Structure 1
């Protein structure tokens, strides 16, 4: 018996579960894929179960529905609201998108101000400034960031 033929037997369980529960961003192929993964795990955990259709259906239905319920709980959990993805077609909301990119003139001014700040620093701190611009961590980094923030307070993007 091939895996595909076994999956065809349990596919109606997947399709009925799909009608009963909603999981964001899952389409028909996703449901089938998750059903196949569940079936594969079941066949690995219980060798020979494919020969007993009654147990196969019962075990698969329990395992698959429990998995789907876990996904629904995860989707609806207050702790995981950040995991929710609101899907909107980009072509429908393209007019709302604002790309926040610095204009060339602002970029030149910022680079000039940063270079002036660097030149005003004593020589040992200039090395720390270079490390700061490289994203490195060093002693005194917070103080330098605070000073730089004060120095750049008049800079508007």
Structure 2
């Protein structure tokens, strides 16, 4: 842990060897994302380059006192970066599709429903990305206790069972779950 802090401070100061050591440690995150998302035009080297870029930015803005590990912070930033790339890819794809066939031609052959299906699928994709991003923000806003309690709640555990598992009073469980619910409402609304 102390060795990682040393590398972190050295990389933050511009030491490229320390940065390389940190990147090698977190490179599996990049490959996991590569397997999870398909971004056109990105080969293995491009994925690594994007990962290096995001890791560099993550190291520069990382604050250990926020209660999140560098690895989690990097993963979150990389995933958001990938969402941005996917949005751009989707915009280019829609633009190319529009250029391939005129709207008038599509209206004649398919009818007005073509307008609904194209806009709905685009909106659904953007809504999905926004919801995922908001949920990540939500889970970052929770304390460790609130996260555990919310997870117990999602599984269907009772207040009594949660209190027993956490080794605390039911009142503390209720308060923690109330805070988690309030934070979720803030993110959703």
TM-score (norm 1): 0.45
**Structure with greater contact order relative to length (CA < 8 Å, sep ≥ 6):** 1
Q: Which has the larger radius of gyration?
A: 1
TM-score (norm 2): 0.38
Higher helix share: 2
